[in-house]
Structure 1
């Protein structure tokens, strides 16, 4: 009988104890190991001492903490946009953006777009992104409709694939495109630890917006929107933004002051990725520099469990389908951790 892995009562780390047994853990989304980074935790505690545990007032209150504007300025500068908006969650950032901008044109969803970006339930679309972008280009160029809203993830993190939006360069210049990209799994990791924003097409007829959860690689329970000055100001005037409480100021204090921690963790992560790649032959999908490795062997999780190793494993796309098995590396993994799983693989 397997242990209960759905009632864990300790922080996730490279190793977790369940029913008295220590397991190496290769799952989750804490790619930079921030939840267990002692220096980052110190910054967070400093932030709590400075600003308290939370702030339950909206961003339009007549008395404000200045750190929210500061964090948005830092995020815009760090990730390469004109302006930024920060909310209490990635889901809220995505919904706020999609609801505010979807009325500007005909909406098209890319395959596997995260549900946080849905206006309503979307049918499951398993089409390859490479096929979808060709069809989308033809659809827009051959349509009488002038205004379009394209909504997509920046990547597929389940079967790792970075999406190239260069196809938008082939869309007729008289078409107005609003591109909304969810970079929740890429921000802080891809593009040398930056965001997808700087890699998106720059054309006068294309307005680019990036939304992201900051709770994954960045280790902060907050949501982020990157965009132009005009777009961010428009979003800040929505009822959703006006009515929502912000994230804890302490978290943003750590984000602002933790940039060198992020950089060091990114370097460590890239070293871990390179080590695993050098030790094994990968039979599934992976993207260079991204710490998730998909394996086609549907029984891999069961076999590794015998050796007290937990990996990400769940049925997909339907509950009765075979599981997809992925090994997720983090900056919190040691060389010994990686050599152990490599030897078993």
Structure 2
């Protein structure tokens, strides 16, 4: 694809103007269209007026903005967790959690686990499917003398859309203690009616669940989130990483706190767009119900749609020499007219 699309000088939206031409844009991770939601932008501006542009002091400082504790309480309540922790990025939230909690047991990483969740190097599970991995994991844990285990996984694979089911943990022997760390960066705000993965993870006596997430995708806030028990969150807040790191912009968290209805309306609009598109596509496409990404095994799709002034997500995967992975990603910022144009171009 032309390099002119790698130096865009405007915000991403449903349309992008490049060299005087308007292109419909069906890519990215702004699933709820929050970066272009005027109501949310107005809240963000109110937050800037109240709290300024940023806050470079750590959360261990003796003088604090109360908005951070308020946002954590709201996040825990909204996503049905006992407690929450907020950092300046999803990557930091993941690294903080993995580095602090991986010492609590023998670590096993699931396939396609995001690099933010790696301890030092890429886990040796790249070639496995999630289904193969969970069978092997059950066998490994149940046959081992090791009692304590830390399982690390994404909540879903957003590239080859697949939402993972963790009910397999019911098959783990009850004398094994499992700490399950799940990255829900692509699911939170979208899947499970916007609640994300946390409330759907297994509730078993021998399983402790922790969710880490970027808030910069569906939620539109440059921050990271950890959901878990009060005990786990307390442990994480005592870590050197949390104590030493600066927090995210207070303005963004102010907007997050007061945008509950905005998120709900955006989620409903996204679901409407998904239904509209699903009614028209060939079901040989790979997708998950309710999630707005669609994979098609057709290497020239991006080039063909470009002729119709439509941009989609397209890049070689997993290696730079591989064929492009072509995905269409819907957002709440797309209109009915946008979807109709896309459908006509595909036909």
TM-score by length of 2: 0.98
Secondary structure of the corresponding residue to residue 181 of structure 1: strand
CA distance in 2, matches of 1:249, 1:55: 7
The 8 Å contact of residues 3 and 19 in structure 1, kept in 2 or not, is answered as no
Distance in 2 of aligned mates of 1:114 and 1:18? 32
Q: Tell me the equivalent position of 1:21.
A: 21
What displacement does 1:140 show? 0.3
Whole-angstrom distance in 1 between the partners of 2:150 and 2:343: 43
* Aligned 8 A contact 1:99 1:119 in 2: yes
Alignment map for 1:13-162 (pairs within 5 Å): 13-122=13-122, 123=124, 125-162=126-163
Partner Cα distance (1:302, 1:11) in 2: 23
- Unpaired runs of 5+ residues, structure 2, are none
CA distance in 1, matches of 2:53, 2:127: 42
Matched residue of 1:185: which SS? coil
Post-superposition CA distance 1:70-125 (Å, at most 9, x none): 00000000001100000000000000000000011110000000000001111461
For 2:87 and 2:196, how far apart are their aligned partners in 1? 17
Separation (CA, whole Å) in 1 of partners of 2:3 and 2:84: 44
Quick one: distance in 1 between partners of 2:106 and 2:2? 49
> Are the equivalent residues in 1 in contact too, given 2:100–2:236 (CA < 8 A)?
yes
Work out the CA distance in 2 between the residues paired with 1:25 and 1:131: 35
Kept in 1: contact 2:152–2:182 (CA 8 A): yes
Q: Unaligned 5+ residue runs, structure 1?
A: none
Structure 2 counterparts to residues 313-328 of structure 1, below 5 A = 313-328=314-329
Alpha-carbon offset, residue 284 of structure 1 = 2.3
CA distance in 2, matches of 1:126, 1:259: 40
Once the two structures are superposed, the pairs formed by residues 262-341 of structure 1 within 5 Å of their partners are 262-341=263-342
Q: Which residue of 2 aligns with 1:250?
A: 251
Structure 1 outlier segments of 4+, above 3 Å:
none
Task: Please list the CA deviations of residues 233-258 of structure 1 after superposition, one character each: whole Å capped at 9, or x if unmatched.
Answer: 00000000000000000000000000
Aligned-pair distance for 1:339? 0.6
